[in-house]
Structure 1
Amino acid sequence: MLLEALVTTTDAVTATRSRLTKVDAAADLLRRLEPDEIAIAVGLLLGRPRQGRVGVGWRSVAAMAGEAATEPSITITDVDAELERLSTTAGAGSAAERTAQLADLMSRATASEQDFLSRVLLGEMRTGALEGVLTDAVARASERPIASVRRAAMLSGDLGETARLALTGSAEQLDAVGLVVGRPVLPMLAATASSASAAVEATGTASVEYKLDGARIQVHRSGDDVRVVTRNLADITRRLPDVVDVVRAMPVHDVILDGETLALDEEGAPRPFQETMSRFGADAARETVLHPWFFDVLHVDGRDLLDEPLSTRMAELERIAGSSRIPGEVTDDPAVAERIAAEALAAGQEGVVVKAIDAPYAAGRRGSSWIKVKPVHTYDLVVLACEWGSGRRTGLLSNLHLGALDAAGEFGEPGEFVMVGKTFKGLTDELLRWQTARFPEIEVRRTAGTVYVEPITVVEIAIDGVQRSTRYPGGIALRFARVKRYREDKRAEDADTIQTLRALLKS
């Protein structure tokens, strides 16, 4: 199939607000793919090719996007082959060779294909809403139950392979998809509450655990082979030898663990989040040690624990992880939950996560079984646009337009973002320089005073609350919003929801 078919489908999905029309367009594309094209096509549509990031930067892509072909001729298997070449080209002279490879690919692409390829190469495809559309489209095209497709995608962590299996395999093969040690699964997500006591009242008997100011990790071990991945399922094993050593010392052969890692100071207190992320993102080992803390276990020595209650998983985690378990207590007493929250804050942590003791592990989903509580209202929102500054900020992008995820489609299509406010507070000179350089790279349009961007950048925002407002489509506006930090470890689809923010009106 020609790459042009993917571009046309993406345009059709973007052009309509009707979810049914979006799903129909994607399902029609899926039905026309050859078996060996399915996973490739889905990966390209989501901006997640099987090769991952191939080390091509914005400047390289911008330099290559010159004169375009007049007629489409590139197939999706051509693109896959070229990405494979780019990902494996290394050694002396590799920079020039990679530039030549990229130039050749771009020269054969039409203007619309160049734009599509640029977004794929730079990881800037808008995938939040499209992933949900594609999941539904796989079910439609394959005539398989949507629940079966969703579960297979969650447990495999790979919608492309799920699509291939659904479209070319049997229903029994799709339903047989389960946990595989070494194959990442989508992590379970937490909702938000204003207090630990409110969270316990909502969940009943719960494990109230410290919420660490670290980076989410998932660890797979089979024998001495240990693999560590991020919340986005990127492999970072070589960056975290400290974590590998801890897991290799556990009394198990096969295990899948969920947890966080963070840097500690000499007294065992957490270092600033930026230090953890600096070490977390380093290709080479550094002096700063990242200690792992685990809060869940999904598999132990041939036994899947996903559908077991948290109480069972906690017992197994205590047996194998011991001192590497995240601190917490089981209680149904709101006063006890508040005490634990206070202790977590005193220890320098962010707050607590309250988890229903009888709940299974819901891979890839955000529900009411896990509820995070922070001492101040901090939410992960998405940058929709940025205004040029004035005064001492003249020439710098300053005032951020902030959006919350509309997961339920209450104010538009599911997976889109609803604007909830603006802020320029909390931006350091370093952040101002960073966003001035970054946002034009992901620009979708601009006016005289504002640069509108792809909604892919997550920023952590502290607020004093929300208030009713007719200014924004979600009916609320943030109160005293200020920037805490950018969250490069999070995807836009992991942002907090407009429904979560609207719930603050009640409190």
Structure 2
Amino acid sequence: MLLSRLAQVSREVAAASARSRKIALLGELFRAADADDVPIVIPYLAGRLPQGRLGIGWKLLAQPVPPAAGPTLTVRDVDERLTGIGAATGAGSQAARRRLVGELLAAATEDEQRFLVGLLTGEVRQGALDALAAEGLAEATGAVPADVRRAVMLAGSLQTVAQALLADGPAALDRFRLTVGRPVLPMLARTASSVAEAVAKLGACAVEEKLDGIRVQVHRDGDEVRVHTRTLDDITDRLPEVTSAALELAGERFVLDGEVIALDEKGRPRSFQQTAGRVGSRVDVAAAAAAVPVSPVFFDVLSVDDRDLLDLPFTRRHAELARLVPEPMRVRRTLVDGPEDVAAAEDFLARTLGRGHEGVVVKALDAPYSAGRRGASWLKVKPVHTLDLVVLAAEWGHGRRTGKLSNLHLGARNPDGSFAMLGKTFKGMTDKMLAWQTGRLRELAVDDNGWVVTVRPELVVEIAYDGLQRSTRYPAGVTLRFARVVRYREDKRPEEADTVETVLAAHPEAAP
């Protein structure tokens, strides 16, 4: 498949407002695709690289490259070139990478260049693309959409299912079953603004602690245990405590869903970054485990003794969980009869926050396990932090945001009146807000290198975020987690923005 076709469809999908139109565009694309192109096409559509992050920043892309006259690049050509760029390491690698990037862009047309730059910088973003692609695959092959979604859930990979579908048709979906040892995509929760809202939507429900840890899926087959992250990465060797805990359970074959979390000597959660750092540690695991031990906490079970439990209601799955996992290794929870009992749910949230956890997940008692989807039967509730920060710069957008200043660089005040950058966000912006901020930021611009517009630090914006984490990338030593724009504060002056000191004081666990 030519890259030009993929770039065109990506642009059209981003511009389309109707879900049906997006699905139709993707269906047409998949009908024209070879099965062997799919492992490249699907990640590119979603703005991901099969190679993962290549470390290609704006500095490598800042020099304009004359475009090719016509389209010749295929998606496989691009994939091979990007693999070569990723392999360039060691002495002289920076120059080699610059040369290889330049050669790739020189082989691309102007439209293809825009797509590639967005892909390399993470700016090709398509919301819920995997879900749309599953629908597009169904349309292209005549498969039932629900069957495609279930196969993706069980395979843990949209690309794997797409290859099978395009090669062998809908009958290929029968190959995908829940198998101990092969991770499935985890069920995800939507957000509710309050416990009362969540309980009103679900009625009788379970209210469970929401731990600020790392999601894990634990598979045991006899003496063999495998541990996978929510992105299905195998991290078994990094978490010997989880393997030991799984081997102590009575069952011989099972699949559990839960989290690992680092606790201090008082049993309170350590910062998310400490847990994440421990899980990410690949060197001297024994020393890391001694310094920051983690504990598994489980809240669901997907399979026991080769019985697929996915379609059972949560009440029955939890009963199976309780038989298999002792109470200290299960997440705390309370049962609520419905809206008339919301006070009990709110009390449980307050006690959960008091124990240092980040919120609760409210779960419908009759719901199956909808793996890989943000189903309406799990609703997460957690307090929202907000800060008033100053816009220091903004990046030109791509796709639907082409021509708009989108990704904001956010700063808090230093004691000397300067600003320390805390992170970036492109989330939470309406089309109206994008149009307004583009005009306003251009008025404040002091530099524009074609990618980033630096502005006078005069515009205050209210930012919601989920917490802080340590970061050597930013001068304050921390960055915002899941930042999103709430509104602009034209009533506030830059000197009224929050200070770095205030930010750190609100999150002492993340202070550098």
TM-score by length of 1: 0.70
C-alpha displacement of 1:306: 0.8
Q: Aligned residue for 2:505?
A: none
Q: Aligned residue for 1:352?
A: 360
Q: Aligned residue for 2:320?
A: 316
Q: Is the 8 A contact 1:402 1:419 kept in 2?
A: no
Q: Is the 8 A contact 1:388 1:394 kept in 2?
A: no
Do residues 372 (structure 1) and 371 (structure 2) align?
Answer: no
Distance change in 2, residues 1:398/1:357 (3 Å)? closer
C-alpha displacement of 1:304: 1.4
Distance change in 2, residues 1:197/1:60 (3 Å)? closer
C-alpha displacement of 1:269: 0.9
Q: Distance in 2 between matches of 1:239 and 1:47?
A: 29
SS at match of 2:14: helix
User: Taking every aligned residue pair, what percent have the same amino acid on both sides?
Assistant: 40
SS at match of 2:325: helix
Q: CA offsets, 1:355-383, max 9 Å, x none?
A: 22222111233334223333x3469xxx9
Q: CA offsets, 1:249-288, max 9 Å, x none?
A: 4344443322122221111111123333343444444322
Q: CA offsets, 1:133-152, max 9 Å, x none?
A: 32332122112222222222
- Mapping of residues 416-431 of structure 1, within 5 Å: none
Do residues 117 (structure 1) and 106 (structure 2) align?
Answer: no
Q: Distance in 2 between matches of 1:214 and 1:369?
A: 21
Q: Is the 8 A contact 1:68 1:114 kept in 2?
A: yes
Task: Tell me which moved more, 312-321 or 82-91.
Answer: 82-91
Name structure 2 gaps, 5 residues minimum.
387-393, 395-405, 437-447, 469-477, 487-512
C-alpha displacement of 1:104: 4.6
Q: Aligned residue for 1:39?
A: 39
Bigger radius of gyration among the two: 2
Q: Distance in 2 between matches of 1:129 and 1:190?
A: 14
Q: Distance in 1 between matches of 2:240 and 2:30?
A: 41
C-alpha displacement of 1:23: 2.9
Distance change in 2, residues 1:167/1:210 (3 Å)? same
Q: Aligned residue for 1:143?
A: 142
Q: Distance in 2 between matches of 1:247 and 1:418?
A: 51
Q: Is the 8 A contact 2:69 2:109 kept in 1?
A: yes
C-alpha displacement of 1:47: 2.8
Could you tell me which amino acid in structure 1 is paired with residue 45 of structure 2? L
C-alpha displacement of 1:219: 3.1
Q: Distance in 1 between matches of 2:365 and 2:410?
A: 49
Could you tell me which amino acid in structure 2 is paired with residue 460 of structure 1? D
Q: Aligned residue for 1:454?
A: none
Number of positions where the alignment pairs a residue of Structure 1 with one of Structure 2: 433
Q: Is the 8 A contact 1:218 1:231 kept in 2?
A: yes
Q: Is the 8 A contact 1:212 1:260 kept in 2?
A: yes
C-alpha displacement of 1:13: 2.1
Do residues 361 (structure 1) and 369 (structure 2) align?
Answer: yes
Q: Distance in 2 between matches of 1:138 and 1:245?
A: 41
Q: Distance in 2 between matches of 1:69 and 1:153?
A: 38
C-alpha displacement of 1:237: 4.3
Do residues 486 (structure 1) and 458 (structure 2) align?
Answer: no
Q: CA offsets, 1:156-202, max 9 Å, x none?
A: 33222222233332323225533233443332222444554664454
Q: Distance in 2 between matches of 1:275 and 1:217?
A: 16
Distance change in 2, residues 1:46/1:182 (3 Å)? farther
Q: Aligned residue for 1:300?
A: 304
Name structure 1 gaps, 5 residues minimum.
406-415, 423-439, 452-456, 463-483, 497-507
Q: Is the 8 A contact 1:298 1:306 kept in 2?
A: yes
Q: Aligned residue for 2:216?
A: 217
Q: Is the 8 A contact 2:467 2:481 kept in 1?
A: no
Q: Distance in 1 between matches of 2:88 and 2:19?
A: 41
Do residues 328 (structure 1) and 328 (structure 2) align?
Answer: no
Q: CA offsets, 1:38-80, max 9 Å, x none?
A: 23211222233444x1543425742687454333322222233
Distance change in 2, residues 1:289/1:224 (3 Å)? same
Q: Is the 8 A contact 1:200 1:354 kept in 2?
A: yes
TM-score by length of 2: 0.70
Of the three residues 454, 458, 466, the one matched with 1:460 is 466
Q: Is the 8 A contact 2:58 2:121 kept in 1?
A: no
Q: Aligned residue for 1:266?
A: 265
SS at match of 2:268: coil
Q: Distance in 2 between matches of 1:154 and 1:365?
A: 9
C-alpha displacement of 1:128: 1.3
Q: Is the 8 A contact 1:194 1:377 kept in 2?
A: no
